[in-house]
Amino acid sequence: MTEELLSLPVPQVPAGDHGVAWLRANVVRFSNGAEHERRRALTTKLIENVRATTLDELANALELPGSLDDIAVIAPCYQPHEPVTAEADAAVDRLARRHDEETAARIGLLVQAWAATHALAEHFRTGDPTPPVPITRRAAEGGVIEVSLEGHPFGHGPHACPGRELATRIAKNMAFLAMHHQDEPLVLPNAWDYASAAALHAAGFLAIGTTSLGVAAAHGIPDGMGLAGEQATALAALLATLPCPVTVDLESGFGQDPAELVARLDAAGVNLEDGRPHGLATPQEQALIIRGVKERAPGVFLNARIDTHWHGLAVEETEERAKRYVDAGADGIFVPGLTEPRDIEKLANLAPLNVLAQQRTPKELGNLGVRRISTGSLLFRAALRHTVATAEAVRDGEPTGKAFSYADVQELISRGTRSCAG
């Protein structure tokens, strides 16, 4: 029934020659029939090759650079049932250098993207599964009716959102960044395949990482040697459909250009380490890599892993590298092996700090300034141990303990768990 209602025409909007009224009267969102088909084709063409990771990038792609302040003023007045302010009219007129359908399409796309990504990002951040926009309006025989978007967060039928993949990507990026600036640290579990990631998300974790050891070992490949790039990126593509932000462990780039690699991924974050198979990169070299990645994909959260502790170097070296990487654009720093409270507090002042799970509680680590706690390869190693223990119990005639049911696993990997559902 909902699908039928969503296929009804949208309510007509009055004509207008300037401001918000002009914008409403000339965009695909509030049109029907042949006019709608023509405008939808134009809108789709404008975004079909856009790979934006931020709203700023999208604004540039739509030839509206520096327009987001005006867009933020227009957005609350965009829907026909909302009152229009003089400020919103003035903002439209500033952006509308020409009063044609293409200009309206560019502004309308950015207005809708601004509203959708902010609402969707907040839902990703809080784990709210309901549609960020709960209802839409359609014209029925008895007048304008409200139609629930439950199960169809991007609409359905002729007015389904053409930019849902783009909006979802940007919203996940925004949410993931915000998760590193909350009162409590982000506890980030690390998965090694789709099922483990889906199970972790279903358990209430709001973001998922990958583990390089788990991904490599699951494919019979040694970790840390830069040999599992194909497997890591294939998993990243699978996890992009999860309804939560995902960050991908890229080791040091798998021998590829990290900027090109990150630009191809559909991930909210990446880990890039300065460790190499046979030592450490120089801080200058790693800073250049970080700068290149952030230029190509500014919205992707770059967690700069510093491997000095693994190599037994003093905390002063770690701090110097951290400063260089943050200056180059890194959004956060990750120091595996870091446990000393004074060292944690010192580095936490530089940028959102990520440490591995340890004996201290998330609250205790948060009090030291930690913003993210990763499980690293722990979950994969624990799963291997539990697998062996269960097999041994079967062999020895002992109780096997709890496990997911067949139906549980089928449900985890159903299409309904994914971002593109609806």
Q: How far apart are CA 402 and CA 405, in angstroms?
A: 9
Q: What is the pLDDT of residue 75?
A: 97
Which residues of the chain have a pLDDT value below 70? 415-422
Span 85-139, pLDDT tens digits: 999 999 999 999 899 999 999 999 999 999 999 999 999 999 999 988 888 999 8
pTM: 0.95
Q: What is the pLDDT of residue 310?
A: 77
Q: What is the pLDDT of residue 421?
A: 44
Q: What is the pLDDT of residue 133?
A: 87
Beta strands 143-148; 135-140: pairing state: antiparallel
Q: How far apart are CA 44 and CA 100, in angstroms?
A: 17
Q: What is the pLDDT of residue 44?
A: 95
Alpha-carbon 35 to chain mean position: 34
Cβ atoms 171, 117 nearer than 8 A: yes
If you count them, how many residues does the chain have? 422
Span 60-89, pLDDT tens digits: 999 999 999 999 999 999 999 999 999 999
Q: Which domains are delineated in the chain? A: 2-170 (1.10.630.10), 180-384 (3.20.20.60)
Q: Taking the C-alpha atoms of 113, 130, 187 and 310 in order, what is their torsion angle to the nearest 10 degrees?
A: -40
Q: What is the pLDDT of residue 417?
A: 60
Q: How far apart are CA 209 and CA 66, in angstroms?
A: 33
Beta strands 275-276; 279-280: pairing state: antiparallel
| CA-wise closest residue to 382 among 223, 211, 237, 242 | 211
Q: How far apart are CA 53 and CA 68, in angstroms?
A: 15
